[in-house]
Structure 1
């Protein structure tokens, strides 16, 4: 029986070597035709801007088209599912944001598992948020805003792009750390939110730096603080919330590149390596800086750890705010 077992083992090893060799050869040839880059939000969104910034250089480096396809809807779920159900061959990849980590706490019946059904490729970078008020707001500092909120519980309001979005979670972290009660007004997207904020219909909001940098520079909105532990190079004169008295406040939404589950490691590593090179190109860094986006790059392992950590953070914030998952 031992010789038979040995021969069986040899055959198994042989098949394994052939399989690994095939995967390696496929990665060497990848990509040999057009790659779909799924963006689960509408054109002009931060996700879309980031995809269209690094997509063309990636096409040039890998000598194949990376075509951006916008699949907006259902809190980014529609577009994410498009990637999840695709064959794990690298020809359908996608973008996700911090909202991906919120959805498990907001939706009881997601059409995929937010961890098991994806292969994180890299965290492309982060989109620092800014606490902004209308230009004629009586609140010129974070301390003034908190003092007013404590004097008038539930009277001061803030807007977000919807319940459970990164903008909402930043505000929940703010109210929790400041120990204040404020009224949340959810909007269907960022554009109507910014319009009402500029006209003074709402008192303040946390907004992505790429979406309000121009208004802040023009003086139509006033920035009180940024949500990161360090000041932003795009707004160096704006203090952090940590500096403004909310010690330890740090909320920095991310954007990641991902593929379906079981995406072969050589393809994952190839994409990761090429994206990292592009992120450090002076022309790309300049484009991102203008947008207020901070390019970082990470390993697949670190990207997975970030997603898992934010799933827990989001769950804790929503639970503390008594926000339950929808059917």
Structure 2
């Protein structure tokens, strides 16, 4: 997605105003029937990447819908309580959820959750991916993924891979590397990304996958060494860092992602209305700058393709969770 110059802002405003022209007539009618705010539940803490995307997208969505968007954080237990509120909400589009890859990880790491991660939601749009980067402390004498694999194979069980916790996306990105290469490394779970990055920089843990936005400055400063990004395409924030496939692990590809959902059974005109509003909001320079500023890659997966995306991601992540043996209760 390109950044639009200032001279085109008037055109973007017209796009936002005409969002419902792109959607079935029933969508505009159903939204116009109420001027109450739409509640957008973010099942993670304020300041998270998902929260930042919700708050960047909210104003544009509100303009396109003609209804204010109110972002509400309901954090805890991997996002389960917050998502639980979304699946139990009215089916009229008055409550939505902004979820991450954790949504399809949770069924494998928790013994039970109070909803079905596929059947109890309506996927509206997959908005962006969160590129991860494999970094090592400079004390590890490797500069490429190939050198890292050789180093690990010569010293089985001695390298530590840090993550943001058991079953986190950072953990599963590491498990995929183990699965694809057969290396023997030790997993060290942390309570969040902040402590992980601190110990990576201090050398207490030698390697880890971290979102590009959280370590780009350290990589550029040389306090961490980037070996490869997890995605199939290079990151604009670290353009000189190869993908894992380019670095010699051809089948590796791992994306954390962010998506907009509603409860199961939402009327299709309402879903289509939201999908059109999302496209309009994502096209605004403000939202685009905020999202790209987080180091994210913008996607455009709407309600037709989103269900299959969720199903595929659930299958992939559950396979990795089983391989890792991760559990949280």
TM-score by length of 1: 0.88
SS at the partner of 1:207?
Answer: strand
- Residue 28 of structure 1 and its aligned partner are, at CA, apart by 4.3
Deviates more, 1:249-258 or 1:293-302: 293-302
- Output aligned runs, 1:96-107, within 5 Å: 96-107=99-110
Q: Is the 8 A contact 1:279 1:296 kept in 2?
A: no
CA–CA separation in structure 2 for the residues paired with 1:120 and 1:285: 21
Moved more, 278-287 or 116-125: 278-287
1:305 corresponds to 2:308: yes
- What secondary structure is seen at the aligned counterpart in 2 of 1:76? helix
Matches of 1:31 and 1:130 in 2, distance apart?
44
Q: CA deviation at 1:49?
A: 1.1
Question: Aligned-pair distance for 1:47?
Answer: 0.6
Who wins on radius of gyration, i.e. which is larger? Answer: 1
Gaps of 5+ in 1: 1-20
CA RMSD, Structure 1 to Structure 2 (Å): 1.9
1:225-245 C-alpha deviation (Å, 9 max, x unpaired): 101112122211000110111
Cα distance in structure 2, aligned partners of 1:249 and 1:289 = 23
Match of 1:238 among 232, 238, 241: 241
Structure 1 residues 324 and 210: CA distance shift in structure 2, 3 A: closer
Which has the larger displacement, 88-97 or 281-290? 281-290
What are the residue-to-residue correspondences of 1:1-327 with 2, within 5 Å?
26-29=29-32, 32-321=35-324, 323=325, 327=329
Query: C-alpha separation between the residues in 1 aligned to 2:25 and 2:114?
Result: 31
SS at match of 1:100: helix
Which has the bigger relative contact order, CA under 8 A and spacing at least 6? 2
Which sits farther off after the overlay, 242-251 or 286-295?
286-295
**8 Å CA contact retained: 1:46, 1:210:** no
Instruction: Verify the 8 A CA contact 1:40 1:70 in the aligned structure 2.
Output: yes
- Output one character per residue of 1:30-74: Cα deviation in whole Å (capped at 9) or x when no partner: 652111111111111111111111112222332322111111100
Measured against aligned partners, the alpha-carbon deviations of 1:137-175 in whole angstroms (never above 9, x if no partner) come to 423221221111101111100111111111111100011
Q: CA deviation at 1:97?
A: 0.9
Q: Describe the superposition over 1:245-269 as per-residue Cα deviations: whole angstroms up to 9, x where unpaired.
A: 1012111111100001111111111
Deviation at 1:98, TM superposition (A): 1.0
CA deviation map 1:208-229 (0-9, x unaligned): 1222223323333221110111
